[in-house]
Amino acid sequence: MTANQNHTPLPTGNDITLPWHLRLPKPLEKDFRLYFRASAAKSTPWALALVAFLIVSAMFIESRISVDVLSFSWRSRLFTLMLTGGCLVLLRKPQWRNWLHEATLVLAFAISLTGNYLGVTIEPSLSYPFFLHTPLAILMICILIRVPFYVALGSSAIMIACMIFSLQLNPGRYPFEPTTLVLVSLAFTCTGLFGQYVYERLLRQYFLSEHVLFQHRNELHSANLVLENQATVDGMTGCINRRGMESRLNHLYHQLKQKTPDAPERITLILFDIDFFKQYNDTYGHPAGDECLKKVASVPLGMVQSDTDFVARYGGEEFVITLADSSFNDALVFAERMRNRVEQLGIPHSGSRISQVVTISVGVACSDSNAENGGQLLKMADEALYQAKGSGRNRVALMSNQGVVEVLN
């Protein structure tokens, strides 16, 4: 990059401007609600435990003030305590957490309305603290439980309206009490809602950043897969190239040696090449030779079934098939069928000294024969292939577990 070129960094999501109303497009808004709920669920158990502690503390203080007050308020306290326990139960299973915000809102309204009820029915000299349940419930949903901003805004307005209505039911209070209570509630509400607005705005910004970075990671992963595929796949035959073959074979051997849970029981390697392929190129030309390679490679590619098995072009006209978890006998059957199917392709080969069609010679070796790594296994298969060629070509040879090469008739 030259000095006069501008470097444009990848977007992070921080450069996305949120509207003042915080709303996102519908698909993102739906995902954000799930994200928001999961975020709130992490701190909700502690918040509910604090609410339960405050309710129990209130009952203790009321019992110290007067037994008559506790005898009057304990039912309301027990009701809100049971709702708190119900909210904690919802957190035990992930599928129940979808109702967490609704349940905590019910708890907040219960705290507010029972406070209004007690404030109206208890003697006026003790009623003032009970009306403070409303601003405390609003702070609970805004700061402790973290319900969505617009839900908190609507719920707060309803709670304050209920409190104002309750204050009108008992006109015998001091003149300043209703006004003070309403002003205190509004101050608490504005503080809580402002904090919730800022919190949700920051959380939405962070969510957008994560969303953008997730898209970048997906794009990068897809690009890496394409590059890896280009780097390890032979473009002409569609087989894995030599580099990819060595990497996969070494990985399988590593699993085999480490005895990992997904390790294969054994690894069988089949090495074959096309008989008299140089003469084929000399007779028909290199373009025809390329077509011949494609047709021959299509045979093992069509026979391989397992995800762990693969076909690789080792070099020139040589190919490798790696079979994991196949028995040695099954591998030999595979090799013989492959040899027969290639011959049945009927590709003319007038330059061959053994047949009028294209044929292959095959060598088979298995990890049960104490091969320490992929390189040794490949060398053993190569020795078997050499013996198959020396025995007349168009046949399968194997390296036995005793290290002896045997040629199949």
* CATH 3.30.70.270 domain span(s) along the chain: 242-407
Token pair belonging to 337: 């069928």
- pLDDT score at 190: 92
Residue 9 has pLDDT above 60, yes or no: no
Farthest-apart Cα atoms in the chain, separation? 119
Beta-bridge partner residues of 361: 273
Residue 3 has pLDDT above 50, yes or no: no
- pLDDT score at 90: 83
Q: Would you give the end-to-end CA distance of the chain in angstroms?
A: 64
CA atoms within 13 A on the CB side of 119: 27
Residue 222 has pLDDT above 70, yes or no: no
- pLDDT score at 130: 87
Distance from chain centroid for Cα 116: 48
Q: How far is CA 204 from CA 33, 35, 168, 265, in A?
A: 10, 9, 40, 50
For 81-131, the pLDDT digits (tens) are 999 988 888 888 777 777 888 888 999 999 999 988 888 888 777 777 888
| Segment among 33-47, 128-142, 144-158, 219-233 with least mean pLDDT | 219-233
| Segment among 87-96, 264-273, 305-314, 370-379 with least mean pLDDT | 87-96
Residue 297 has pLDDT above 60, yes or no: yes
Closest C-alpha among 389, 42, 398 to residue 203: 42
Q: Is the dihedral of CA 346, 348, 349, 354 positive or negative?
A: positive
Closest C-alpha among 46, 47, 23, 22 to residue 143: 47
Q: Where does the pLDDT of residue 269 fall: very low under 50, low under 70, confident under 90, or very high at 90 and above?
A: very high
φ, ψ of residue 360 in degrees (nearest 5): -130, 155
Q: pTM here?
A: 0.51
Please identify which residue in the block is written with the tokens 């809102």.
Answer: 105
Residue 159 has pLDDT above 90, yes or no: yes
User: Which CATH number is 242-407's, of 3.40.50.720, 3.30.70.270, 1.10.287.3510, 3.30.420.40?
Assistant: 3.30.70.270
Q: What is the CA radius of gyration of the chain?
A: 39
Q: Look at 77 and 224; give whichever has higher pLDDT.
A: 77
| Segment among 40-44, 74-78, 289-293, 358-362 with least mean pLDDT | 40-44
Instruction: Find out whether 163 and 133 touch, Cβ atoms under 8 Å.
Output: no
Q: Where does the pLDDT of residue 344 fall: very low under 50, low under 70, confident under 90, or very high at 90 and above?
A: very high
Residue 241 has pLDDT above 80, yes or no: yes
Instruction: Summarize the confidence of residues 229-250 as an average pLDDT.
Output: 84
Instruction: Summarize the confidence of residues 289-310 as an average pLDDT.
Output: 92
Q: Is the dihedral of CA 135, 139, 140, 146 positive or negative?
A: positive
Residue 1 has pLDDT above 50, yes or no: no
Instruction: Sort 153 into a burial class: Cβ within 10 Å, 0-12 / 13-18 / 19+.
Output: middle
For 51-63, the pLDDT digits (tens) are 899 889 988 888 8
Instruction: Sort 337 into a burial class: Cβ within 10 Å, 0-12 / 13-18 / 19+.
Output: middle
Q: Mapped to the 3 state alphabet, what secondary structure does the chain carry?
A: CCCCCCCCCCCCCCCCCCCCCCCCCHHHHHHHHHHHHHHHHHHHHHHHHHHHHHHHHHHHHHHHHCHHHHHHHHHHHHHHHHHHHHHHHHCCCHHHHHHHHHHHHHHHHHHHHHHHHHHHHCCHHHHHHHHCHHHHHHHHHHHHCCCCHHHHHHHHHHHHHHHHHHHHCCCCCCCHHHHHHHHHHHHHHHHHHHHHHHHHHHHHHHHHHHHHHHHHHHHHHHHHHHHHHHHHECCCCCCECHHHHHHHHHHHHHHHHHCCCCCCCCEEEEEEEECCHHHHHHHHCHHHHHHHHHHHHHHHHHHCCCCCCEEEEEECCEEEEEEECCCHHHHHHHHHHHHHHHHHCCCECCCCCCCCECCEEEEEEEHHHCCCCHHHHHHHHHHHHHHHHHCCCCCEEEECCCCCEEECC
Of the chain, the percentage scoring pLDDT greater than 90 comes to 34
Closest C-alpha among 249, 233, 194 to residue 374: 249
Instruction: Summarize the confidence of residues 121-150 as an average pLDDT.
Output: 84
- pLDDT score at 173: 62
- pLDDT score at 92: 80
Distance CA 307, CA 89 (A): 44
- pLDDT score at 174: 64
For 169-221, the pLDDT digits (tens) are 766 566 677 888 889 889 988 998 998 898 888 888 888 777 776 776 767 76
Instruction: Summarize the confidence of residues 276-291 as an average pLDDT.
Output: 93
Whole-number mean pLDDT of the chain?
A: 85
Instruction: Summarize the confidence of residues 126-152 as an average pLDDT.
Output: 86
Residue 255 has pLDDT above 60, yes or no: yes
For 13-47, the pLDDT digits (tens) are 555 667 777 777 777 788 888 888 888 888 888 88
Beta-bridge partner residues of 269: 322, 365
